Copies of this chain bind each other. A is one copy, B any other.
């Protein structure tokens, strides 16, 4: 039974009280949004430790997701849990578990036991990892594996899953003939496209989408429709193939809603700064106003090592244009598996984008006001009470101190001190 089923049966699920309190929106508002699909609350009925759920969508605060997970050669799961804790500390609203090495089942269960925020996964990774470990090709697994793996994740308590449903056999055919620079940069999308080409069958997530929905409904797993064809560079943005996938989103969203399954849409990626607004608008149009979950977007390709910044610009403009949920990008994107420090920078950069837009919508007013009035009196102790990262404030104040009131930037020539002397009220 899903939260939509519950509401339609006349109940008010208790989780709504918590979301209502967090968001400052009425229960009625949330119910309306959940029913028309503009709001989702990812929460698997089996995710017992989920004490801090999130609502995503229209009128709610912009949410931030952090990715964690092992990779080939980097399978220290304890270190990945450290990333989880870091993400949590700096304000991530959810975490996606994207491990591709080690004992994936163990790791997933462990994270679901620990995590009090929603956990997302990409089930198809499991199939590829098993195939690789058994010395088969990464796309060498059976049609049955698609649903079996998804069902396992659902049963274990995963709150939302990325399923690359919309990369159909027909689209793969067009893709082969297309002249886009980077055909697929979605890991899950490339695995399924490879599988389709190797086996000659239709994408099982698409072919058996009714069964997918039945599983999702049983556990209340929110579906995050993966965009296999998200552009991997600025030049591929908004090409026909990307749009074709969105056209399929339209039918999938309608089917999911008809079965009371919650659904959100994943989006790019790499987008020139003047195409972000259209990207979000088109996704909202074809996705029937389902919440939009963007990876970045990255607005410049020549800054590897700084993609937390290229994407925080993109996220801010996207959120301003209606995006609801931001997947962080770390500075190590395109270069290596992130470190804990990279994860911290990724989360903070995304939070900045999210909160800047939220502020313009009347949220986080108190926190920003406290900084403003505390800066006026150069009260750094009060400032530290509400900032995103207290430690860095201390670091700067200690590394280059000014031995007097104020900081070493202006020293005795601080405008606030001059104002205090001559313009005091």
Contacts and interface: CB of A to CB of B under 8 A. Distances in A.
Nearest to A137: B421
Number of copies: 2
Contacts of A11: none
A310 B352 contact: yes
A339 interface: yes
B397 A336 contact: yes
Interface residues of A, number: 112
Contacts of A414: 187
Contacts of A111: none
Contact of A303 (B273, B305, B333, B352): B352
A177 to B, nearest CB: 9
Nearest to A400: B336
Nearest to A398: B336
Contact of A413 (B125, B232, B272, B302): B125
Interface in A363-417: 364, 367-369, 371-373, 375-376, 383, 386-389, 392-393, 395-397, 399-403, 407-416
Interface of A: 71-74, 100-101, 125, 128-129, 132, 138-139, 172, 175-176, 181-187, 189-191, 193-194, 197-198, 232-236, 272-275, 299-306, 308-310, 312-313, 316-317, 320, 331-339, 348-349, 352-353, 355-357, 359-360, 364, 367-369, 371-373, 375-376, 383, 386-389, 392-393, 395-397, 399-403, 407-416, 418-419, 421-423, 425
15 contacts: A100-B410, A132-B413, A138-B418, A176-B423, A181-B372, A191-B415, A194-B423, A197-B423, A299-B352, A300-B355, A303-B388, A303-B389, A317-B317, A336-B396, A336-B407
Given A235-B372, A300-B359, A301-B372, 10 more contacts: A100-B413, A194-B423, A235-B368, A272-B359, A274-B360, A304-B393, A306-B389, A317-B317, A336-B408, A336-B409
